[in-house]
Amino acid sequence: MKILLLDKNHPLITEQLLAKNFTLEEDFTSSYDEVCNTIENYDGIIIRSRIPLDKNFLERGKNLKFIARVGAGMENIDVVAARQLGIQLINSPEGNRDSVAEHVVGMLLVLMHRLFIASLEVKDGIWKREENRGDELLGKTVGLIGYGNMGKAAAKRLSGFGCKVIFHDILPDLSDEFASQVTLDQLKNSADIVSLHIPLTTETYHLVDEEFISGMKKDFYFINTARGKNVNTGSLVEGLRSGKIKGACLDVLEYEKSSFEHLETENDDLKYLLDSEKVIVTPHIAGWTHQSKEKLAQIIVDKILASFG
């Protein structure tokens, strides 16, 4: 089989697939149109997020048997068209779930205990104790929206902090030893902390908006390590201004480029988030550890070999 690699990934992908007699070609720079002109020559694609694989692209790939996405989200791929064309879709959410879960806990602790702010103040010669009094995770009810690989990994860790963990998911009967399944209304009535672990779809676009935020019974902390467009940023900012949202931990932003390489929009809402002491922002790195890079790649190789080896 002849495979096109469209993004740089861990070298074990190349090493292990070459050892199994796959033919591999790398193209990390060509544009969408340039790749479209050659895609019919390949049996498979390995990609992260560099270019969109829409219906037009997939139809041009007349010999494509699979698309392997090194990561979890598949929004860069026209999933419906791929299935209609008989193209197998492979991803690797198992590979970075532990990284994401640790990032969630880390951001929460930094925010709730004012660790970053207090550290910067002391380094600047400012010694404030009462102003930096923290808020404990112990005893909080955490509401997870989405209970796949990421949600389950987060629940396992948060339960160890003495949190009560509940979750809402579109699939039934997912409760386990770490979290209990509830309706979305029940989650809104109980949660002190809300964390998103959902894909980006037409149903989840701007899921967190003014109606969602105002429907929360308690003032709450908010975490998003899923996709930026799951959240209406204007509504988030208003929630922070009003105090309904006590603080936010954001690894993803609505204004990211689709390839996640940088921000493509600047506006007053973004400036508020970047300037606010109530907001922790990281550059889409929740799943981005040395360990996850290797695990993501190994899972992709294992799945390709299981189907086509």
Contact (CB, 8 A) for 274 and 281: yes
Cα-based angle 35, 41, 45 (whole degrees, multiple of 5): 65
Q: How far apart are CA 1 and CA 153, in angstroms?
A: 35
Catalytic residue set: 227, 264, 284
Q: How far apart are CA 282 and CA 285, in angstroms?
A: 7
* DSSP state letters, 156-188: HHHHTTT-EEEEE-SSS----SS-EE--HHHHH
Q: How far apart are CA 105 and CA 159, in angstroms?
A: 11
292: exposed, middle or buried (Cβ count in 10 Å: 0-12, 13-18, 19+) = buried
Determine the distance from the C-alpha atom of residue 25 to the mean position of all C-alpha atoms in its chain, rounded to a whole number: 28
